[in-house]
Amino acid sequence: MIRPMSESPPVEKPALIGADLIRDEARRAPEGPGVYRMLGEGAEVLYVGKARSLKKRVMQYAQGRFHTQRIAHMVHLTRAMEFVTTSTETEALLLESNLIKHLKPRFNVVLRDDKSFAEIVVRRDHPAPQIKKHRGAHTIEGDYFGPFASTWAVNRTLNTLQKAFLLRTCSDSVFDSRTRPCMLHQIKRCSAPCVDYVTPAEYDALVGEAEAFLRGKSREVMDRLSKEMGEASDDLDFERAARLRDRIRALAAIAMEQSVNPETVDEADVFAVHAEGGQACVQVFFFRAGQNWGNWAYFPRVDKSDDESSILGAFMGQFYENKPIPRLILCSHAPSEAVLLADALALRRNRKVEISVPRRGEKLELVGHALTNAREALGRKMSESSGQAMLLNGLAEALGLPGPPERIEVYDNSHIMGTNAIGAMIVAGPEGFQKNQYRKFNIRSQDLVPGDDYGMMREVLGRRFSRLVKEEEEGSDPIRPDLVLIDGGLGQLSAVQEVMAELGVDDIPVVGVAKGPDRDAGLERFFKPGEAPFMLEPKSPVLYYLQRLRDEAHRFAIGTHRTKRKMDMTRSPLDEIEGVGAKRKKALLHAFGSARGVSRAAVADLAKVEGVNEAMAQRIYDFFHPSR
């Protein structure tokens, strides 16, 4: 009897990792330009890169030659790869910068704490153009000028433009409702186009002069005003001559206030990078219209193996994703792949962009000034980081923590007799206050007794940590705090303990900070679960640090509460009517003067308003007269 041979079970092929996986992926990688992503455990994005030939570039990683220790570690952690092809290497560079900025891979140079800068916009969607401060996308029809590196710089410039050119800053609704000039006209800050104190042609001339000034033609504008002042004086019109004199003084003042005003550079951004000890600072100066419009210091995440050229090349690609690009960029070091970067920025700007490393003259002085600022800013940052590390070590010792905390969350509540109640969370760590991590919580519970601080704290901490637990269950990797500070004593601490025990996160250290008698700073008492209350030495640096954390949480909570209260005070009953949006609300208020006027109007009168049909008029009437 012949028995069939038993079939051996199939042997599963072990999953490829590291260099073996990259070598396997390289065989199937596209030949042309594109972007590649290296993924680690749990699909974590380790690195984003671009290449002229994806196949050749990826194969270099598999060969294991010329790798720094950091790159070798990245290759070892790689568990998967993804590829996106592009038409050109320039497009690949733009896509790479975009992905790095949003994904923040751990092995890339990453721009941290990115912010949008304020601009000045002269609106062109109204017969009397408004001048105002603007942030974000250019959604308003008008002419934009900027960026300004600080709110102080843009406010100062707006203030000067008001004095010199008398342009309106009021909103359209205020403009349309004026029957007499406002206070700005009385103090000679506006020409009052709202009540026809200036003709449209005269106002347009003022707008043209303001734009000429913002485009760098300040000397021409001042010369023209001086000539007009002389003519007014010759005609014995001394009042007009005095007004023109005041406008000239305002323009001269802003020109003198600029700290660095180049004569040979009209429009440029100046970048300078200084790297030391695995940290780097990039200083950016903005020059527009021949004037210095401020500077900003950035501290991108870098590695010790990154040199200044690679840091600057990676930084600039991410920096210009959401900012206006000038025609000239001056650098302290040649960015890596500078020609390709210039082509990419030109593609984004639709005009030629020049990237230059000056060797002589005024441009070299501008770069040198920026480099000095970068060096000094990094020195201050490293000194602060050293001091911060000492504080966190002292905090761990004082509170009995297993190690210095990387993430501290501080919670506070704010309300007035229970109204407009909000909870606030601030975050701090080795880098100081992490303001992009701050969160506010509108108190939602309808069962809370007004002013119930314990109940509010339970709701805030419950929402925060139930979300953390949910994200952990879903397989994501949310950041757990190493320390939770509560503004309050034993009662607040007990309420928080109860919530965290229910959610299974009671392993996170929690400390209550109670104000001293008569709220005296330095006499705070600290509460830890299962321990007697204690105090710290009155002059202890750790105590000062904890006071700063508590005060920052209090500041954020109070500010958020005031904003909410202000919004509630300005809310109109019209906001509660379904179908009444911003345009209909504006039309109704313009027609009847106020929400009270709308409430007294008949259906027939309401239906006469633009955008309000008979059905909507009936709905508005029924809202104000429910008994009928």
- Given a cut of 60, whether residue 570 has pLDDT beyond it is no
| DSSP-assigned beta bridge partners for residue 271 | 284, 331
Confidence check: pLDDT of 220 > 50: yes
Average pLDDT over residues 2-28: 68
383-413 pLDDT tens trace: 777 778 888 999 999 898 988 999 999 998 8
Would you state the pLDDT for residue 408? 93
At residue 309, the pLDDT reads 92
The mean per-residue pLDDT over the stretch 30-46 comes to 89
Mean pLDDT of 424-430: 90
pLDDT reported for residue 580: 83
Identify the pLDDT of residue 3.
46
Work out the pLDDT band at 14, boundaries 50, 70, 90: low
- Which is more confidently placed, 254 or 85? 85
**What is the overall mean pLDDT for the chain?**
82
240 and 278 Cβ atoms separated by less than 8 Å: no
The confidence band for 427, taking pLDDT boundaries of 50, 70 and 90, is: very high
Q: Give the pLDDT score at 151.
A: 73
pLDDT higher for 427 or 8? 427
Q: Check whether 357 has a pLDDT greater than 90.
A: yes
pTM: 0.64
Residue 136 in this model has a pLDDT that exceeds 50? yes
- pLDDT at residue 261 greater than cutoff 70: no
pLDDT at 562: 76
> Which residues, 6 or more positions from 503, have their beta carbon under 8 angstroms from its beta carbon?
462, 465, 466, 469
Q: ∠ CA 292-297-299 to the nearest 5 degrees?
A: 160
Q: Which residue has the higher pLDDT, 221 or 269?
A: 269
Per residue in 223-254, pLDDT (tens digit) is 777 777 877 777 777 776 776 777 777 666 55
Q: Does pLDDT of 142 surpass 70?
A: yes
The pLDDT of 118-135, averaged and rounded, is 86
Q: How confident is the model at residue 415 (pLDDT cuts 50, 70, 90)?
A: low
- Lowest mean per-residue pLDDT among 196-205, 219-228, 491-500: 219-228
Tell me how far apart the alpha carbons of residues 71 and 303 are, in angstroms, rounded to a whole number: 11
pLDDT in tens, 464-482: 999 888 888 877 777 889 9
| Residue 234 token pair | 């010759």
Greater confidence, 333 or 184? 333
pLDDT at residue number 46: 92
Predicted pLDDT of residue 565:
66
* Mean pLDDT lowest among 309-313, 390-394, 544-548, 580-584: 580-584
Decide: residue 438, CB within 10 A, 0-12 exposed, 13-18 middle, 19+ buried. Answer: middle
In the chain, what are the domains? 18-103 (3.40.1440.10), 118-257 (no CATH), 268-378 (3.30.420.10), 408-565 (3.30.420.340), 573-624 (1.10.150.20)
The pLDDT of residue 269? 92
Is the CB of residue 59 less than 8 Å from the CB of residue 11?
A: no
